Amino acid sequence: MTAHPDQDPMQRFAAELRAFRLSCGRPSLHEVNRLAKRNNSSLAPSTMSTMLNGKRLPGWPLVQTFVRTLLQIRDADTSLGSDHDEEVREWKRKWVTASLGPATDKRSGSAGPLGRHMTAPSVVARERQSRAAVEPTEEVRDSGPSDQFDERGPLVIPAPRPRRLELLTPQVRAFHVLLDQALSEKDTDGRVWGNARFGCYAFYDLDGEVLYVGSASEGLRTRVRRHLTGHRTDAVATRILDVHEVAELELWPIWALEEVGRSDRLRVQNELPGIESAIYRRAVAENQFGPPLNEVTPADMNPATLPPSRRFALLDESIRQERSHPDARLARRAENLARLASTVLERGSANDGMRRALLIQAARFTALAATHLAYVRGLPKPYPAVLDIAGLLDSPEVD
């Protein structure tokens, strides 16, 4: 919902908060409260409801906690680092403007939102003082003519900063939109796929091969977004997993564990790894070019019955065609392979899992290069067994 320019500042601020919550995936107020509690804060649903309805302007500490918690949900970030400081400062500017209330037009004497002709000295002074409290070391300078000024110089109202989604390239933005749509889809019982607390997931590449298998105990949405948008997992940071190669997502929410309390973690520890292991073994059996790129191979558990799953496309057809071109994929894989090798070099004592992923990536690169060369020469595709990745890895899970 877009705020009307003539709306009361407090109502306009509430409308902006509602729109912001919607852009962050519209998490429930109870979900926001749960995450806030993990961060040692408190956001009672009734308090948030009052704030979002615009019944009264909340204090800044409450707004700051609400905004930071929504930013964590949006970016799937479980930390409270400084990545969101710029956006939080922008929200404080909005809160300061709302706290000033309706200003008076110098010429008409009518009340209205702070605008181009609002030059009452008390309003200007309060705005300048509030802005100084937000950014005490920043000196305000005018960039052009303005009739908002006081005895100390021109008053400049900073323009709203663009949202993070608006800063992304069209391709990356389209990927994020499809990912959010996938995580917000509902099953036949009306449950949102991405809202399951516990579950497993798999990422597929442009050939339909399973790239990576994982499990989530802090929420499927949070874990998947950390991989694909937050860039805060070891698999992404070390270049084991290249997000650019991810074309599809499959989710296995484990709804039977939804009501498990913290005191019954043993049940989660028994069921979740078994399902992850079953998905991984199935991928090993079906992949043509070796096992998934997991740095840590899921333990070999007793066969588990997989819960219902759903597979989602994360690339539209035009982007998929562009990324699927062999030359583009080879260039990307070569760069990714070099960065992974550099990480191994820098760590020195890199674990076996990272070196294993390096070998699988090299084999996948070789298979793609050989296939494309055969195509250029008009020859049949090389038989996958030529690479004998199982023999190279000498790993029990691919026997």
Here the tokens at position 341 are: 């090798």
pLDDT in tens, 26-40: 888 888 888 888 888
| Top-confidence residue, 156 or 289 | 289
Cα 105 to Cα 43, 150, 225, 335, distances in angstroms = 37, 15, 47, 60
Q: Average pLDDT of 47-57? A: 86
Cβ 181 vs Cβ 192: under 8 Å: no
What is residue 4's predicted lDDT score, i.e. its pLDDT? 53
H or E segment to which residue 321 belongs: helix 317-324
What is residue 80's predicted lDDT score, i.e. its pLDDT? 45
pLDDT band at 392 (very low <50, low <70, confident <90, very high): low
| Top-confidence residue, 3 or 133 | 3
Judged by average pLDDT, the poorest of 2-11, 123-132, 335-344, 382-391 is 123-132
H or E segment to which residue 201 belongs: strand 199-204
Quote the DSSP letter at residue 192.
Answer: B
- CA nearest 197: which of 275, 258, 261, 262? 258
What is residue 157's predicted lDDT score, i.e. its pLDDT? 56
pLDDT in tens, 183-213: 999 999 999 999 998 999 999 999 999 999 9
Q: What is the pTM of this model?
A: 0.59
pLDDT in tens, 78-127: 444 446 778 888 888 888 888 876 644 444 444 444 343 333 344 444 44
Cα 307 to Cα 129, 198, 269, 374, distances in angstroms = 58, 12, 16, 40
Judged by average pLDDT, the poorest of 42-51, 125-134, 162-171 is 125-134
CA dist 31 and 26 (Å) reads 10
Q: Name the one residue in this structure whose structure tokens are 């479980």.
A: 78
What is residue 376's predicted lDDT score, i.e. its pLDDT? 93
| Top-confidence residue, 325 or 113 | 325
